[in-house]
Protein backbone atom coordinates (compact mmCIF):
# COMPACT_ATOMS: atom_id res chain seq x y z
CA UNK A 1 0.00 0.00 0.00
CA UNK A 2 1.27 3.48 -0.90
CA UNK A 3 0.57 5.63 2.14
CA UNK A 4 1.74 8.78 0.36
CA UNK A 5 -0.60 8.21 -2.60
CA UNK A 6 -3.45 7.50 -0.18
CA UNK A 7 -2.81 10.80 1.63
CA UNK A 8 -2.49 12.81 -1.59
CA UNK A 9 -5.62 11.36 -3.17
CA UNK A 10 -7.65 11.66 0.02
CA UNK A 11 -6.70 15.31 0.50
CA UNK A 12 -7.39 16.09 -3.16
CA UNK A 13 -10.73 14.28 -3.00
CA UNK A 14 -11.90 16.27 0.03
CA UNK A 15 -10.73 19.68 -1.21
CA UNK A 16 -11.81 19.25 -4.84
CA UNK A 17 -15.21 17.88 -3.82
CA UNK A 18 -15.72 20.81 -1.48
CA UNK A 19 -14.74 23.24 -4.22
CA UNK A 20 -17.09 21.69 -6.77
CA UNK A 21 -20.00 21.54 -4.31
CA UNK A 22 -19.63 25.29 -3.71
CA UNK A 23 -18.87 26.25 -7.31
CA UNK A 24 -22.06 24.68 -8.64
CA UNK A 25 -24.08 26.91 -6.29
CA UNK A 26 -22.84 30.10 -7.96
CA UNK A 27 -25.39 32.11 -9.90
CA UNK A 28 -24.77 32.05 -13.64
CA UNK A 29 -25.54 34.97 -15.97
CA UNK A 30 -28.72 34.57 -18.06
CA UNK A 31 -26.80 33.58 -21.21
CA UNK A 32 -25.31 30.54 -19.43
CA UNK A 33 -28.21 29.36 -17.30
CA UNK A 34 -29.85 26.87 -19.65
CA UNK A 35 -26.73 24.72 -20.06
CA UNK A 36 -25.83 25.10 -16.40
CA UNK A 37 -22.64 24.07 -14.63
CA UNK A 38 -22.17 20.96 -16.76
CA UNK A 39 -20.84 23.11 -19.61
CA UNK A 40 -17.69 24.23 -17.80
CA UNK A 41 -14.44 22.39 -18.47
CA UNK A 42 -13.37 23.26 -14.93
CA UNK A 43 -16.30 21.35 -13.44
CA UNK A 44 -15.90 18.44 -15.85
CA UNK A 45 -12.16 18.29 -15.15
CA UNK A 46 -12.66 18.46 -11.39
CA UNK A 47 -15.23 15.67 -11.65
CA UNK A 48 -12.70 13.53 -13.52
CA UNK A 49 -10.14 14.31 -10.83
CA UNK A 50 -12.58 13.19 -8.13
CA UNK A 51 -13.13 9.89 -9.94
CA UNK A 52 -9.35 9.55 -10.34
CA UNK A 53 -8.88 10.20 -6.62
CA UNK A 54 -11.44 7.55 -5.68
CA UNK A 55 -9.82 4.97 -7.97
CA UNK A 56 -6.39 5.98 -6.67
CA UNK A 57 -7.53 5.49 -3.08
CA UNK A 58 -8.90 2.07 -4.01
CA UNK A 59 -5.60 1.09 -5.62
CA UNK A 60 -3.61 2.40 -2.64
CA UNK A 61 -5.67 0.23 -0.29
CA UNK A 62 -5.91 -2.89 -2.45
CA UNK A 63 -2.59 -2.77 -4.29
CA UNK A 64 -1.66 -5.36 -6.90
CA UNK A 65 -0.29 -5.17 -10.42
CA UNK A 66 -3.42 -6.07 -12.35
CA UNK A 67 -6.21 -4.15 -14.02
CA UNK A 68 -6.85 -1.76 -11.12
CA UNK A 69 -3.29 -0.49 -11.26
CA UNK A 70 -3.49 0.06 -15.01
CA UNK A 71 -6.83 1.85 -14.84
CA UNK A 72 -5.68 4.02 -11.93
CA UNK A 73 -2.11 4.87 -12.93
CA UNK A 74 -2.10 4.57 -16.73
CA UNK A 75 -5.57 5.73 -17.79
CA UNK A 76 -7.31 7.98 -15.28
CA UNK A 77 -4.21 9.62 -13.79
CA UNK A 78 -2.69 10.79 -17.11
CA UNK A 79 -6.07 11.80 -18.55
CA UNK A 80 -6.99 13.84 -15.48
CA UNK A 81 -3.49 15.30 -15.14
CA UNK A 82 -3.25 16.69 -18.66
CA UNK A 83 -6.83 17.99 -18.51
CA UNK A 84 -6.24 19.78 -15.22
CA UNK A 85 -2.91 21.09 -16.52
CA UNK A 86 -4.72 22.69 -19.46
CA UNK A 87 -7.39 24.11 -17.15
CA UNK A 88 -4.75 25.70 -14.91
CA UNK A 89 -2.65 26.94 -17.84
CA UNK A 90 -5.62 28.64 -19.50
CA UNK A 91 -7.41 29.83 -16.38
CA UNK A 92 -4.79 31.49 -14.22
CA UNK A 93 -3.15 33.85 -16.75
CA UNK A 94 -6.60 34.94 -17.95
CA UNK A 95 -7.90 35.17 -14.38
CA UNK A 96 -5.05 37.52 -13.45
CA UNK A 97 -4.66 39.58 -16.62
CA UNK A 98 -7.77 39.18 -18.81
CA UNK A 99 -10.60 38.16 -16.50
CA UNK A 100 -13.30 39.19 -18.99
CA UNK A 101 -12.08 36.46 -21.34
CA UNK A 102 -13.20 33.73 -18.94
CA UNK A 103 -16.15 35.33 -17.10
CA UNK A 104 -19.26 36.51 -18.91
CA UNK A 105 -20.95 39.76 -17.97
CA UNK A 106 -18.34 40.93 -15.49
CA UNK A 107 -18.45 44.74 -15.05
CA UNK A 108 -15.22 46.63 -15.62
CA UNK A 109 -13.05 46.43 -12.52
CA UNK A 110 -15.33 43.94 -10.75
CA UNK A 111 -14.20 40.62 -9.29
CA UNK A 112 -15.85 37.27 -10.01
CA UNK A 113 -18.38 35.98 -7.50
CA UNK A 114 -16.27 32.91 -6.77
CA UNK A 115 -14.31 33.11 -3.50
CA UNK A 116 -10.56 32.54 -3.36
CA UNK A 117 -10.77 29.22 -1.43
CA UNK A 118 -13.29 27.79 -3.90
CA UNK A 119 -11.25 29.14 -6.81
CA UNK A 120 -8.12 27.41 -5.56
CA UNK A 121 -9.93 24.15 -4.82
CA UNK A 122 -11.20 23.76 -8.39
CA UNK A 123 -8.45 25.46 -10.40
CA UNK A 124 -5.24 24.61 -8.51
CA UNK A 125 -5.71 21.80 -5.99
CA UNK A 126 -6.64 19.17 -8.63
CA UNK A 127 -3.55 19.65 -10.80
CA UNK A 128 -1.28 20.02 -7.76
CA UNK A 129 -2.52 16.76 -6.25
CA UNK A 130 -2.22 14.85 -9.51
CA UNK A 131 1.30 16.16 -10.11
CA UNK A 132 2.37 15.12 -6.62
CA UNK A 133 0.85 11.67 -7.07
CA UNK A 134 2.65 11.22 -10.38
CA UNK A 135 6.10 12.56 -9.57
CA UNK A 136 6.36 11.48 -5.92
CA UNK A 137 4.61 8.11 -6.06
CA UNK A 138 4.78 6.64 -9.56
CA UNK A 139 7.94 4.60 -10.12
CA UNK A 140 8.29 5.44 -13.82
CA UNK A 141 6.74 7.54 -16.59
CA UNK A 142 3.30 6.91 -18.03
CA UNK A 143 3.38 3.81 -20.22
CA UNK A 144 0.70 4.62 -22.78
CA UNK A 145 2.29 5.38 -26.16
CA UNK A 146 2.21 8.95 -27.36
CA UNK A 147 0.13 8.20 -30.45
CA UNK A 148 -2.59 6.34 -28.50
CA UNK A 149 -2.66 9.17 -25.98
CA UNK A 150 -2.93 11.73 -28.76
CA UNK A 151 -5.97 9.83 -29.99
CA UNK A 152 -7.37 9.85 -26.45
CA UNK A 153 -6.98 13.60 -25.92
CA UNK A 154 -8.29 14.29 -29.42
CA UNK A 155 -11.38 12.24 -28.59
CA UNK A 156 -11.75 14.21 -25.35
CA UNK A 157 -11.45 17.54 -27.20
CA UNK A 158 -13.89 16.56 -29.94
CA UNK A 159 -16.24 15.15 -27.33
CA UNK A 160 -16.24 18.38 -25.32
CA UNK A 161 -16.80 20.45 -28.45
CA UNK A 162 -19.73 18.26 -29.48
CA UNK A 163 -21.08 18.30 -25.94
CA UNK A 164 -21.15 22.10 -25.90
CA UNK A 165 -22.80 22.16 -29.31
CA UNK A 166 -25.48 19.84 -27.95
CA UNK A 167 -26.35 21.70 -24.74
CA UNK A 168 -25.85 25.33 -25.81
CA UNK A 169 -28.72 26.88 -27.76
CA UNK A 170 -27.59 30.03 -29.54
CA UNK A 171 -31.13 30.53 -30.83
CA UNK A 172 -32.18 31.07 -27.20
CA UNK A 173 -29.47 33.69 -26.62
CA UNK A 174 -27.18 31.22 -24.87
CA UNK A 175 -23.40 31.58 -25.09
CA UNK A 176 -20.40 29.30 -24.85
CA UNK A 177 -19.14 29.01 -21.26
CA UNK A 178 -16.02 31.11 -21.78
CA UNK A 179 -15.96 34.33 -23.82
CA UNK A 180 -12.79 33.23 -25.64
CA UNK A 181 -14.78 30.25 -26.99
CA UNK A 182 -17.77 32.35 -27.96
CA UNK A 183 -16.43 33.01 -31.46
CA UNK A 184 -17.48 32.02 -34.96
CA UNK A 185 -16.25 28.95 -36.81
CA UNK A 186 -13.65 27.96 -37.84
CA UNK A 187 -11.96 29.90 -35.03
CA UNK A 188 -13.68 27.92 -32.27
CA UNK A 189 -12.55 24.61 -33.75
CA UNK A 190 -9.04 26.04 -34.15
CA UNK A 191 -9.00 26.96 -30.46
CA UNK A 192 -10.06 23.43 -29.54
CA UNK A 193 -7.31 22.06 -31.77
CA UNK A 194 -4.66 24.21 -30.11
CA UNK A 195 -5.83 23.28 -26.61
CA UNK A 196 -5.91 19.58 -27.51
CA UNK A 197 -2.36 19.81 -28.86
CA UNK A 198 -1.23 21.52 -25.66
CA UNK A 199 -2.81 18.70 -23.63
CA UNK A 200 -0.84 16.14 -25.62
CA UNK A 201 2.28 18.27 -25.17
CA UNK A 202 1.81 18.09 -21.40
CA UNK A 203 1.72 14.29 -21.63
CA UNK A 204 5.00 14.23 -23.57
CA UNK A 205 6.52 16.70 -21.10
CA UNK A 206 5.49 14.69 -18.05
CA UNK A 207 6.80 11.46 -19.58
CA UNK A 208 10.12 13.13 -20.35
CA UNK A 209 10.52 14.81 -16.97
CA UNK A 210 9.77 11.65 -15.02
CA UNK A 211 12.43 9.60 -16.79
CA UNK A 212 12.56 5.81 -17.26
CA UNK A 213 11.47 3.36 -14.59
CA UNK A 214 14.28 2.17 -12.39
CA UNK A 215 15.85 -1.12 -13.32
CA UNK A 216 14.50 -1.60 -16.82
CA UNK A 217 13.97 -0.22 -20.30
CA UNK A 218 10.23 -0.94 -20.60
CA UNK A 219 9.37 2.68 -19.93
CA UNK A 220 11.71 3.84 -22.69
CA UNK A 221 10.33 1.42 -25.20
CA UNK A 222 6.76 2.60 -24.78
CA UNK A 223 7.31 6.35 -24.94
CA UNK A 224 7.30 6.65 -28.73
**pLDDT tens per residue, range 148-180:** 999 999 999 999 999 999 999 999 999 999 999
Q: Which residues contact 25 (CB under 8 A, 6 or more apart)?
A: none
What is the pTM assigned to this prediction? 0.90
Under the banding of pLDDT at 50, 70 and 90, the label for residue 67 is confident
The whole-number pLDDT of residue 16 equals 98
Separation CA 144–CA 207 (nearest Å): 10
224, pLDDT greater than 60: no
Instruction: Give dist(CA 103, CA 179) in Å, integer.
Output: 7
pLDDT interval class at 223 (50, 70, 90) = very low
Give me the pLDDT at residue 73, please: 94
Q: Is the pLDDT confidence value at 209 over 70?
A: yes
Q: Kindly list the domain boundaries of the chain, sorted by start residue.
A: 3-221
Q: How far apart (Å, rounded) are the C-alpha atoms in residues 210 and 200?
A: 16
Q: Terminal CA-to-CA distance of the chain, rounded, Å?
A: 30
Give the helix ranges, DSSP H, for 72-186.
Answer: 77-97, 116-123, 125-132, 146-167
**Mind listing the pLDDT tens digit for each residue in 175-199?**
999 999 989 889 999 999 999 999 9
Task: Give the DSSP H or E segment for 15.
Answer: helix 3-23
Amino acid sequence: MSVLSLIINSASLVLTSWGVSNAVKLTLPPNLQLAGQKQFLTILGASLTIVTNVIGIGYSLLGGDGGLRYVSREVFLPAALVLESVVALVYWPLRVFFVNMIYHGLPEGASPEITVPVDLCIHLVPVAGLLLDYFLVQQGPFQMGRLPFWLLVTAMGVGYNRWLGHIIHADLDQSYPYPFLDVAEPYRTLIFGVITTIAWGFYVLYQTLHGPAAGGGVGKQKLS
